[in-house]
Amino acid sequence: MRCALIGDPAGHSLSPALHRAAYLELGLEWSYDAITVASSDLDAFVAGLVDTAVGEQQWRGLSVTMPHKEAILAHGRVSDLARLVGAANTLIVTPGERHALYNTDVSGVQEACRRRDVPHARSATVIGNGATARSAVVALAGLGLQRLTVLARSPERAAHLSQLAETLHVSCQVRQLAGATATGDLLVSTVPSKGVDEDCERLVGEVPVIFDAIYDPWPTPLARVGLADGRTVISGLDLLCGQAIQQINLMTGDSVGFEGLLSAGQAELRARGKL
């Protein structure tokens, strides 16, 4: 069977290291690659998944990263969770019928929090307004979130997060990122490091737990502040491993553990000189 991650770009992803380690653990002779697919080529790429020549590996599934998490929703049967978030990161190939689309980022955020002993967050600040931010809000709502602050460079573009929070019965306020200070039990950043690298200490404030969805480069400026102060820091690698657990199960029907995936991701980062 053949699986892959698609995105633009895709070559930087650690997903191949995680999935290949899982296949080795499960005794599967499957392949998994990172494939750069431009937005203009997405329709043709997905349409070609069932046109595998005789003798070639059949496609089983795709991990989907930016910028395709929203556009991929047009290419299959969308799970209720993916529809709620408005984004999917997993496509399961189903020849003869519509492909199945799922969001495992939500469970990934929750698993990452549990692994770092952060089972609950009544109040949180989320930086960003994209697909990962929406997944984080849904995930935290499942962990008991009651009050949400969204920090965005363009607050008017984050109105959909307020609507999502309302659907989840979570109170929400949207504020300008510039000059802001995070509040609550947890700070989640879903934007590139360069978007928050100035005045990180002010931005972090007194929040005890920092969750940065970035894993390369690591530590991020936000993570450095948290680590220096002895706060709980959750990384994008924790998120990647957490979401991969469910994604691998959807693709293979089997289960793997968090620690094995984490070890594979760390080994790949060390090989790249990034850890």
Burial degree of 166 (CB within 10 A; 0-12, 13-18, 19+): exposed
Burial degree of 180 (CB within 10 A; 0-12, 13-18, 19+): middle
Say how many CA atoms lie within 13 Å of 216 toward its Cβ. 16
Residue type, 252: T
Distance of alpha carbon 82 from alpha carbon 40, whole angstroms: 22
Distance of alpha carbon 90 from alpha carbon 108, whole angstroms: 12
DSSP β-ladder status, 99-102 and 90-92: antiparallel
Is the separation of the CB atoms in 92 and 64 below 8 Å?
Answer: no
- Exposed e or buried b per residue across 245-260, where buried means at least 16 C-beta atoms within 10 angstroms of its C-beta: bbbbebbbeeebebeb
Count of CB atoms within 10 A of residue 203's CB?
A: 25
194 is catalytic: no
Catalytic residue among 69, 75, 99, 134: 69
- Catalytically annotated residues: 69
